[in-house]
Amino acid sequence: WAVHVDARNRVWIGTGNAGLAMLDVDRRDFSYYDHRSHPAIGSDDVWSITSTRDGTVWFGTANGGLHRLSPDGAITRFMPRAGDPRSLPDAGVGQLAMTPDGTLWIGTKNGVARWTGRDFERLAPEALNSQAVNGLSVDVDGALWIGTPRGVSVRHPDGSVSRSPWRGYGKTLFHMLLR
């Protein structure tokens, strides 16, 4: 489902039902992270992976939320909490993106959020053409492009959002943008 190479040159592989696998720098040995060996993992269906400068690996799952794997091996799971707008928008995390300033963005089946370091700041629902997020991509200027089944939105580095970034283009753009 997902592949990511981190800053240490380790290859992280998200699978459809076997969790997360990590191929070491020498490309000889795998380490495995799944619900059976690490009960903090909510689902073995890993849809997205990214990492931060400090060596933390983040991974999103089909219905088990967002997970943070710290350099010391500790796993923290984040899930939506009813009535809490500072929680994850949805347990289905299909997209992760890191901006040049180190901000982690999370695309879910029910919206987009930014990790603040302790909780999540959601984009307003009206900022997106649809709450189902199919793709996230960051351009060189730090703008976050958000693909949905009903079109593309862009969140600019200044925080402004446009639901129709191409003026005069009358057709709906579907799915995701890729660089």
Q: How confident is the model at residue 138 (pLDDT cuts 50, 70, 90)?
A: very high
- pLDDT band, residue 174 (cuts 50/70/90): very low
Mean pLDDT of the region 137-163:
91
Among 29, 30, 28, 24, smallest CA distance to 6 is for 24
pTM of the model: 0.90
Q: Give the model's confidence band at 173: pLDDT under 50 very low, under 70 low, under 90 confident, else very high.
A: very low
Give the residue, 70 or 149, on which the prediction is more confident: 70
Q: What angle do CA 116, 120, 125 make, to 5 degrees?
A: 130
pLDDT above 70 for 69: yes
Over residues 5-13, the mean pLDDT reads: 96
φ and ψ at 21, to 5 degrees?
-125, 145
Question: Using CA atoms, how far apart are residues 173 and 179, in angstroms rounded to an integer?
Answer: 15
